[in-house]
Amino acid sequence: MAKQNQTLGEFIIENQGEFKYSSGELSRLINSIRLAAKVVNHEVNKAGLVDILGAAGDTNIQGEDQQKLDVYANEAFIKTLTNREIVCGIASEEEDDFITIQGRNKKNDNKYVVLIDPLDGSSNIDVNVSVGTIFSVYRRVTPEGTPVTLEDFLQPGNRQVAAGYIVYGTSTMIVYTTGHGVNGFTLNPAIGTYYLSHPNMTFPENGSIYSVNEGNYVHFPQGIKNYIKYCQKEEEDRPYTSRYIGSLVSDFHRNMIKGGIYIYPNTSKNPEGKLRLLYECNPMAFLAEQANGKASDGFTRILDIQPKELHQRVPFICGSKRMVEKAEEFMRDA
């Protein structure tokens, strides 16, 4: 049961039993992500001071090398999860290959692997626009106690046991699911505590916002071009409003609250699409479905796609159910 004013820590403990393999391991994992998110949040908030404190590549006053924020976020999440020996493997959008965590005694019985996009939308940092972190958790398929293999990471999204995002926006929020709906927690920066602010989040069944980089219009598939024309047509409850931040987490977050659709199709420049199936689309698709929304590549449910490689890309249509269904209809008919 989600209670208003509950802290994230209290919520995790109280809802631990809802999780089917409840050994406390997943709760500890979410706790670690919460901690790393605070560290990254602190750094993201200082990004505007970079000209004063020194740019990436410089050495700061303590003699430490300044890092780019996406590199910093990557290291913060990997270090937090590795030091606590909570997972047996991590794959990150920032790393070519997955990381095996063997543990201090070369014995790691943990059951979970985490896939993470440590700082999504990082081109927005320099201009003070929201960025996010996206994470996805699976139970490993190979035997516990052995080093993880690629197979543990290449699981279809419908096998996720948890997924979520952190949005570093006007407020910092963690929004996540363990397969029992979606809940959102807002950070009170004064005391460093997340409070349940958005219990049981759901996408409105229909919406009036479409989010797509229309500058790429000429390169879109015909079905998407037709759907965009439909969104713009003066008819019934249309034209819809166009809103595109260029930061998936923020665009998704707004659309979930207000009702809308996010589209990143395949283009002639990116024939497979731009977004990554494992680090971006699967976790967002799991959240969308848990929030009564829908996610598709135009034809197939995102969560049913069998991944073939770690950094695989996929076209992504996600949001309010009726809007995604309409876009799929245009894809089919094109």
124 belongs to an annotated ligand binding site: no
Interaction mask 114-133, ligand AHM, x per CB under 6 A: ---x--xxx-----------
Interatomic CA distance for residues 6 and 51, integer angstroms: 39
Question: Nearest approach, Cβ of 246 to ligand AHM (angstroms)?
Answer: 4
In three-state secondary structure terms, 211 is strand
Nearest residue to Mg ion, by Cβ distance, number only: 120
Q: What are the backbone angles phi and psi of residue 206, rounded to the nearest 5°?
A: -130, 160
CB atoms inside a 10 Å sphere around CB 108 = 21
Host H or E run for residue 41: helix 25-45
Asked whether position 120 contacts Mg ion by CB under 5 A, the answer is yes
Question: Nearest approach, Cβ of 120 to Mg ion (angstroms)?
Answer: 4
320 belongs to an annotated ligand binding site: no
Asked whether position 70 contacts Mg ion by CB under 5 A, the answer is no
Which parts of 3-62 interact with ligand AHM (CB under 6 A)?
none
For residue 196, give Cα distances in angstroms to 3, 5, 180, 184. Answer: 7, 6, 15, 6
Closest of 263, 273, 275 to residue 224, by C-alpha: 263
20 belongs to an annotated ligand binding site: no
Question: Nearest approach, Cβ of 314 to ligand AHM (angstroms)?
Answer: 13
The residue (of 26 and 285) whose beta carbon lies closer to ligand AHM is 285
Pairing of strands 293-296, 183-188: unpaired
Q: Binding residue for ligand AHM (CB under 6 A) from 31, 247, 266, 320? A: 247
Number of H helices, E strands in the chain: 9, 13
277 belongs to an annotated ligand binding site: no
Asked whether position 94 contacts Mg ion by CB under 5 A, the answer is no
123 belongs to an annotated ligand binding site: yes
As a whole number of Å, the CA-based R_g of the chain is 20
The residue (of 210 and 279) whose beta carbon lies closer to Mg ion is 279
Q: Binding residue for ligand AHM (CB under 6 A) from 246, 268, 299, 332? A: 246
Residue found by looking up tokens 């949001």 in the block: 319
Binding site for Mg(2+), by residue number, is: 93, 117, 119-120, 280
